[in-house]
Structure 1
Amino acid sequence: MLFEQSRPTIRTHLVFCVWVLICLLCSVGVLSAQDETPTAEEVAAEVTGAETDDSAKDVQIADEVQVEPVNSDEKIEKRLTEIMRATGWFTDPEVKVDRGVAFLSGTVDTKAHREWAEATAIKTSDVVAVVNRLSVAEPPLWNFAPAIASLKQLGREATGVLPLVIVGIAVTVLFYMLAIAGARMTRWLSRNRIDSALLRQVVGNVVGVLIFIIGIYIALRVSGLTRLAVTVLGGTGLVGLALGFAFRDIAENYLASILLSLNHPFRVGDLIEVEGAKGFVRKVTTRGTVLNTLEGNQIQMPNSTVYKGKIINYTATPLSRQDFAIGIGFEDSIAEAQEIVMEVLTEHVGVVSDPAPIAIVESLGSATVNLRVYYWFDQTSHSPLKVSSSVIRLVKQRLTDAEITMPDEARELVFPQGVPVQLMERSSNENEGSLAGLGAVNGTLNGRAKNKQETKPAREPETSVGEGDLKPEQDDVLRATEDDETVDDEANLIA
């Protein structure tokens, strides 16, 4: 945010503000200088005391015509010629006077100086009329004199406003520091009244921005730019409205982050699912929500999508229910199978007794009776994947030990009453051989059955090497992704 940046960023912002202020002051100074710089016509008017007019005629009338002139024509010619040469504005000036009528000829640099010469001649004593034959010199195509003059004028104006600029910069820097201090003080005072870190940050930034805007206004007023200061304050609302339309998505995500920090739909470390994305909450910033999936990948979702979407929080409550299906044979006892399953669930360390687990008959398949088993476990201390693996493994082993079949309805056919065998009549030798063969087969089968009854199956452990300690994967996922540098760029807004 504006007042939570590092020191190099603060210096960059400060230099940028100073540069903008200097440009504004210089531009306004140049404009005022151009408005106040008198034109050549005005200079001529001040010198001669006469008003200039673009439609001035070559012949002017004297204010008073004396009947008996005091000065001779030669004196008037000499005096006017000396005046025109002294100015340096004329090239080869020539003045002829005949009975008080002055004829001006030659070349002059500007039109204003031409009119000035005419006005000066008519004001000369004993001159009754002026015939202005002065021609204005054509300006060169590459004339840098006006540009140089403008630069000099700009330099003089800039030098004149330099003290005001220095004072304005000092005021700006002072209020920038006050804005930072005010923002920090506001966050510190609201730490016990506002629980949301993001809301405290927003309130502090608002206070800091207001202080800084006031400082800019005072700096402009001190610099003599009152009109510009009023324009800045008046345009603040318009600029905010324009930025709101331009950065609508960014503003929407920012507001959504504030609402998320206030409503607390989840916390850091919770396993949530939003719009098909499932993972542990790592951080919520002003731009988006960062999730770490069970595969160790990172998902960054816009806060607006999270706030408006359907959020499934798997760790909002400590207890969670799992289920799995079992298919037993038609000839097996359903009640016995249910009892065995309930014994496994009651003895398992990861299954809680309240709410109690249940094992119900779900459906009748083509070759099996399908049972559905439900149980509850504490997900804050146990992993759903590991507990499910352990429970299913133990149930399968107990059912096998109890000689309850779990046939595959797709590949196995069960004959509960056995398969009838009919012996064909043969010769005595063949019958004796067949009976001997059947006796051998029966002996082998009886031996295997006897060995099976004598060999007791090993009891399955409650946890295996593959399942580990049944602890949840939250710590493993967060530890595996703790080196992600992109997550640490911005402060976390939720706890």
Structure 2
Amino acid sequence: MPDAASSITSQNAPTSVEGIVVSIQDTLERIWVDFVDHSPFLAMGILVLLFTWGVAALATRLVSASLRRSRMRGSLRELLVRLLSIGIWIVGILLAAMVTFPGITPARTLGAMGIVSIAVGFAFKDIFENFFAGILLLWRFPFENGDFIECEGISGQVENISVRQTLIRQVSGELVVAPNSFLFLNPVKVLTNLPRRRVTIITGVAYGENVTEAVEVIKQALGRCATVHKAPSPQIFPQGFGASSIDIEVAWWTDPTPVDIRRSRGEVVTAIKGALDEAGIEIPFPYRTLTFKHPLEAKLLKESGGDRG
């Protein structure tokens, strides 16, 4: 009996293996046949996507060229062009899905996209947050390409604003890639929002000098500086009593970029120093007066052996 059972098992083993192989072959053949039967629809879907790509590229180019001739600001033009491209691609993908899968209707496609968008939104929350922040930045136009901005210790020139990130070139040369949500949620200083910026320095004259005369000398020195704007006019006020000088606050307006600020500050400091020196007005060094509780005794020490000639 054991021999008979083993022989039956050995005979059935090849049969079961052959059945599995045949089943796999049949499955692969059905998949291939279904793919071949469905390939025209797949090809049409690919053609629709290629057509969508061409339409999006042509439409964005034409609209961008037409808007460039208008007086619309650059950030709003870029936003409209990008929204147009996104809209064309959404319509094209819907058409490609309906052509590739004929059983899909627009209602089912939109419903499926709604469910997928919710899942994708939770999975890629940060990306979508930066995307919508970029749209709001382009729409509200707080700054444009070429502006100098400062945000949370990052200072530089805006090179490009995309829907996800903003490229900032720092004055030292480094490129900072800042997420749009970072710029949207934090205070941003737009340094070039106006065509001029105010610069303030503190100078000082000795206590023995005539302060009114020193203010007039500084005013004339600023009038000879090419980088100082005539309007609004410079403001010069004695500020207070310093440790060794009368402190004078000097404020003026100049061009807004960082290099303009440095250039103007250097010219003004040089002009004030030269004008005060020419007028004989002392810019004092720090003075220090030492007061002792008891008088000091002065003693004359002589070398032993007398004087030496």
Shorter chain as normaliser: what TM range?
0.7 to 0.9
Q: What pairs with 1:457-472 in structure 2 (closer than 5 Å)?
A: none
Q: What pairs with 1:295-314 in structure 2 (closer than 5 Å)?
A: 295-314=172-191
Name the CA distance, whole Å, in 2 between partners of 1:287 and 1:271: 19
Q: What pairs with 1:4-83 in structure 2 (closer than 5 Å)?
A: none
Deviation of the 1:388 alpha carbon = 0.7
Alpha-carbon deviations, 1:427-461, whole Å to 9, x = none?
A: xxxxxxxxxxxxxxxxxxxxxxxxxxxxxxxxxxx
RMSD: 3.0
Output the amino acid matched with 1:241: I
Number of equivalenced pairs: 276
Name the CA distance, whole Å, in 1 between partners of 2:265 and 2:220: 16
Task: Look up the SS of the partner of 1:348 in the other structure.
Answer: coil
Structure 2 residue 21 is matched with structure 1 residue 148:
yes
Which residue of structure 2 aligns with residue 183 of structure 1? 56
Deviation of the 1:408 alpha carbon = 2.6
Q: What pairs with 1:166-205 in structure 2 (closer than 5 Å)?
A: 166-188=39-61, 190-191=63-64, 192=66, 195-205=76-86
Give the % identical residues.
23
Name the CA distance, whole Å, in 2 between partners of 1:313 and 1:228: 49
Deviation of the 1:141 alpha carbon = 7.6
Which residue of structure 2 aligns with residue 320 of structure 1? 197
Deviation of the 1:329 alpha carbon = 1.4
Task: Look up the SS of the partner of 1:144 in the other structure.
Answer: helix
TM-score, length-scaled by structure 2:
0.79
Check conservation: 1:318, 1:380, Cα contact below 8 A. Answer: no
Name the CA distance, whole Å, in 1 between partners of 2:219 and 2:9: 117
Output the amino acid matched with 1:151: I
Name the CA distance, whole Å, in 2 between partners of 1:377 and 1:265: 22
Deviation of the 1:347 alpha carbon = 1.4
Which residue of structure 1 aligns with residue 140 of structure 2? 263
Name the CA distance, whole Å, in 2 between partners of 1:188 and 1:400: 62
Output the amino acid matched with 2:167: V
Name the CA distance, whole Å, in 2 between partners of 1:140 and 1:229: 51
Task: Look up the SS of the partner of 2:173 in the other structure.
Answer: coil
Name the CA distance, whole Å, in 2 between partners of 1:408 and 1:261: 52
Quickly say closer, same or farther: Cα 1:292–1:185, change in 2 above 3 A.
Answer: closer
Output the amino acid matched with 2:60: R
Check conservation: 2:148, 2:257, Cα contact below 8 A. Answer: no
Check conservation: 1:199, 1:258, Cα contact below 8 A. Answer: no
Q: What pairs with 1:92-491 in structure 2 (closer than 5 Å)?
A: 139-140=12-13, 143-158=16-31, 160-188=33-61, 190-191=63-64, 192=66, 195-221=76-102, 226=103, 234-379=111-256, 383-411=260-288
In the alignment, structure 2 segments of 5+ residues that lack a partner are 291-309
Name the CA distance, whole Å, in 2 between partners of 1:272 and 1:184: 32
Quickly say closer, same or farther: Cα 1:227–1:190, change in 2 above 3 A.
Answer: closer
Quickly say closer, same or farther: Cα 1:411–1:385, change in 2 above 3 A.
Answer: farther
Output the amino acid matched with 1:140: A
Name the CA distance, whole Å, in 2 between partners of 1:216 and 1:271: 45
Quickly say closer, same or farther: Cα 1:408–1:167, change in 2 above 3 A.
Answer: same
Name the CA distance, whole Å, in 2 between partners of 1:227 and 1:267: 43
Check conservation: 2:97, 2:104, Cα contact below 8 A. Answer: no
Name the CA distance, whole Å, in 1 between partners of 2:32 and 2:216: 99
Output the amino acid matched with 1:215: A
Alpha-carbon deviations, 1:320-351, whole Å to 9, x = none?
A: 11111112111110111011001101111111
Output the amino acid matched with 1:202: L
Output the amino acid matched with 1:285: S
Deviation of the 1:239 alpha carbon = 0.9
Quickly say closer, same or farther: Cα 1:137–1:372, change in 2 above 3 A.
Answer: closer
Quickly say closer, same or farther: Cα 1:334–1:233, change in 2 above 3 A.
Answer: closer
TM-score, length-scaled by structure 1:
0.51
Which residue of structure 2 aligns with residue 93 of structure 1? none
Task: Look up the SS of the partner of 2:208 in the other structure.
Answer: coil
